């Protein structure tokens, strides 16, 4: 009898400890369709942990709201899962907002008023107060092999004759040249399974570097040239977005060119839910 009581108490304690853990998912945010795609992959995680989403590029307001809601539910340990392509994206701002870094990030020193960052207007980061233990994820989505399956599925759904097809995978890309090289290196690793999945004419990746006009202009020329060359000799070009969700500005970039795309990013897909859960669990280890 005593043993049964002890087992019950231990189970109850373990359950309470698990309930004290929660997840804050950070995501860029977009229009209604974009946000719904994120909500769809986050939904199963809510069955395992109290979970909130903070849309925005390290937005102090949405992050504060998310943390407060988790605390109100009794959460005392929060895994902050940064669902960005690159693990470098907004990391200093995130740490500063969560009081894990004392020094204000350089981008935030430009102005104390609203300023422009990566081509988007955003308020400067402001630290939030919390008594919860915070663990911030470090790796981006592009570093996960789980993306490989998504890319292969997206390509196979559009492919009809691989020997006549070129695959072009497009990503947002950063402004810094060194960081851009790291983006491309991760994309190359993720593309290996696509190359192995069919005898395509070519499998190529590019970053548009969307928010830096001079670098974008050069990238647009390369991207359009890739499509034009892929169309030669009765070729067919498949364009796949290397994005969390959606097709971004690629339809405009590729205007008047002949290509095939379904405009689907990584979300929704079960592997993105799996990535969220694995990343959260890694934070709690």
Task: Decide: 162 and 200 in contact? Cβ < 8 Å.
Answer: yes
Domains in the chain (CATH in brackets) are: 2-139+270-284 (3.40.50.1400), 142-253 (3.40.50)
Q: At 133, is the secondary structure helix, strand, or coil?
A: strand
Task: Decide: 40 and 268 in contact? Cβ < 8 Å.
Answer: yes
Per-residue pLDDT of the chain (285 residues; tens, 9 = 90+): 555 444 443 444 444 455 599 999 999 999 999 999 999 999 999 999 999 999 999 999 999 999 999 999 999 999 999 999 999 999 999 999 999 998 888 764 433 333 344 444 567 889 999 999 999 999 999 999 999 999 999 999 999 999 999 999 999 999 999 999 999 999 999 999 999 998 999 999 999 999 999 999 999 999 999 999 999 999 999 999 999 999 999 999 999 999 999 999 999 999 999 999 999 999 999
CB atoms within 10 A of CB 175: 15
The DSSP secondary structure of 191-253, one letter per residue, reads HHHHHHHS--SEEEEEE--TT-HHHHHHHHHHHHHHHHHHTGGG-EEEEEE-SSSS-TTHHHH
């Amino acid at each position: 009898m005593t043993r049964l009581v002890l087992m019950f108490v231990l189970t109850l304690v373990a359950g309470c400890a698990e309930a004290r853990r929660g997840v804050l998912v950070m995501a860029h945010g977009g229009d209604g369709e974009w946000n719904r795609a994120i909500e769809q992959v986050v939904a199963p995680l809510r069955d395992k942990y109290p979970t909130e989403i903070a849309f925005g590029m390290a937005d102090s307001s949405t992050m504060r709201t998310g943390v407060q809601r988790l605390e109100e539910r009794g959460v005392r340990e929060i895994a902050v899962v940064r669902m960005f392509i690159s693990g470098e994206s907004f990391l200093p701002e995130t740490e500063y907002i969560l009081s894990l870094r004392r020094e204000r990030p350089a981008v935030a020193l430009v102005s104390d008023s609203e300023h422009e960052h990566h081509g988007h207007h955003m308020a400067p980061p402001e630290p939030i107060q919390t008594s919860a233990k915070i663990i911030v994820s470090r790796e981006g989505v592009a570093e996960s092999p789980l993306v490989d399956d998504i890319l292969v599925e997206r390509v196979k759904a559009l492919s009809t004759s691989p020997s006549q097809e070129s695959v072009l995978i497009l990503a947002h890309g950063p402004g810094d040249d060194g960081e851009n090289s790291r983006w491309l290196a991760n994309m190359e690793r993720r593309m290996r399974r696509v190359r192995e999945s069919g005898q395509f004419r070519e499998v190529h990746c590019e970053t548009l570097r969307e928010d830096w006009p001079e670098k974008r202009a050069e990238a647009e020329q390369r991207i359009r040239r890739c499509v034009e060359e892929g169309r030669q000799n009765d070729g067919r070009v498949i364009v796949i977005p290397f994005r969390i969700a959606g097709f971004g500005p690629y339809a405009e970039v590729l205007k008047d060119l002949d290509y095939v795309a379904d405009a689907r990013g990584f979300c929704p897909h079960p592997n993105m839910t799996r990535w969220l859960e694995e990343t959260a669990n890694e934070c709690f280890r």
